[in-house]
Amino acid sequence: MLTIVGDDECDIIELPNNMKINMAFGIDETGPWGWRGRITGRYRRIQLFDAKNTLISEVIEENPLYQPF
C-alpha cells in the first residue's frame, strides 16, 4: 500500500491544563473517522476534551489540507 509522508490518520494535542484536542480525518461528514489521513481525508473532525476526558466541543468541517489524487 502506498502512503504519503505526513498523512497521519489522527492528531492528538495535549494541553498544559490537561485538556486534549483530537483531530481525525474521514471521507464523509459522518465518518468513519481515523482511517483516512490529514491529506487524503475530505473531512476533519476536531474534538476538545476536558481533563476527565469528557467531550466539551466537536466541529466537523471540510479538510483544508485535502488533496485529491
- Written as tens digits, the pLDDT of the chain (69 aa) is 455 666 777 889 999 999 999 999 988 888 888 778 888 889 999 999 999 999 999 999 999 988 887
Q: What is the pLDDT of residue 8?
A: 76
What nine digits make up the cell of 28?
Answer: 464523509
pTM beyond 0.85, yes or no: no
Q: What is the pLDDT of residue 44?
A: 93
Q: How far apart are CA 29 and CA 19, in angstroms?
A: 25
Q: What is the pLDDT of residue 6?
A: 64
